[in-house]
Structure 1
């Protein structure tokens, strides 16, 4: 068990304040979303408001908790003492490329690419980075196998439009 310090109190307060700020920003953004009721009686701004309220409550409670003694029963941190920046970069590039390419490549291929790059990041953090073509291809197939059923469920069963490679609704 670690002893509580003023530094950890300050850091816990910063995390709470960041959560509170994020909730406030989300609430501000939710004000610009239409509240007209849709399917099921709720409008498109319902979930942003729910998430904003939960974030605000969590932020306030985190700040109060940090200022009244903080997290008292924290166990010693496990894992590396330093962040694994190479892995972080692999995962970040995967997420950013997914966001940039989803309308060009379609949901399935952009999500599969994101999966491939995220796997590189996680394996890099374990010291098992494999950049061989076989590993890339295997991970791409797994990514497609995960993304395709999600895409089909949303487009075919739920009738929710996601960006596709074709206009058929199957790719």
Structure 2
């Protein structure tokens, strides 16, 4: 009796996608790359624009996204997760951390004009550090405000690109 066939289920047992949950990542990458391609196609570029132009770097990102999505798809199809039918998992999803990051991003988007870049960016940075499990909120807020202030100065003074000043605009 061959113990290998008794102890281990066949590779295709339980469906063709069993152990291939990682295929969600290349799907998301392909969708984002498609969104970038649609943006490139809808972009109006003046005819006298010289190389590289505003479509150059988004094109590189779209091509790289599609290439990585294809390579990841091949990887997940060739190497399915062999522990897919067991209760013990190699990885898990930390939904609390995910909620902190997504919630921080939503608050940042909604309050950017009202609070301004420095405060909203600091709040977003703090939410991300909280998601990563930092236990020093005072230090995190200090660093967040320092980094968002530096970015504000770099974009505003260095590059001439104004960021929303919000409630700090009159100071």
Q: In structure 2, which of residues 35, 41, 50 is the aligned counterpart of residue 31 of structure 1?
A: 41
CA RMSD, Structure 1 to Structure 2 (Å): 3.3
Alpha-carbon deviation of 1:29? 2.2
> Who wins on radius of gyration, i.e. which is larger?
2
The more displaced of 37-46 and 155-164 is 37-46
Question: 1:62 deviation in Å?
Answer: 2.8
Q: Which moved more, 1:32-41 or 1:17-26?
A: 32-41
**Does the 8 Å CA contact 1:23/1:56 hold for their aligned counterparts?**
yes
* Structure 1 outlier segments of 4+, above 6 Å: 37-40
> Do 1:108 and 1:151's aligned partners in 2 also have CA atoms closer than 8 Å?
yes
* CA distances 1:61-105 after superposition (whole Å, capped 9, x unpaired): 3334444x2389xxxxxx984322222212221111111111221
Structure 1 CA distance for aligned equivalents of residues 96 and 141 of structure 2: 20
Normalized against structure 2, the TM-score is what? 0.68
- Once residues 142 and 61 of structure 1 are traced to their aligned partners in structure 2, the CA distance between those partners, rounded to angstroms, is 37
Alignment of 1:47 onto 2:57: yes
Alpha-carbon shift at residue 35 of structure 1 (Å):
2.9
In structure 2, do the counterparts of structure 1 residues 141 and 11 end up closer, same or farther at CA, with 3 Å as the change threshold? same
Match of residue 70 from structure 1: 79
Q: For residue 111 of structure 1, what is the aligned residue in structure 2? A: 121
Residues 1:155 and 2:164 are matched in the alignment: no
Q: Note the C-alpha offset of 1:58.
A: 1.8
TM-score normalized by structure 1? 0.68
Among 41, 48, 67, the alignment partner of 1:57 is 67
Which runs of 5 or more structure 1 residues have no equivalent in the other structure? 73-78, 129-134
Question: In the alignment, is residue 101 of structure 1 matched against residue 111 of structure 2?
Answer: yes
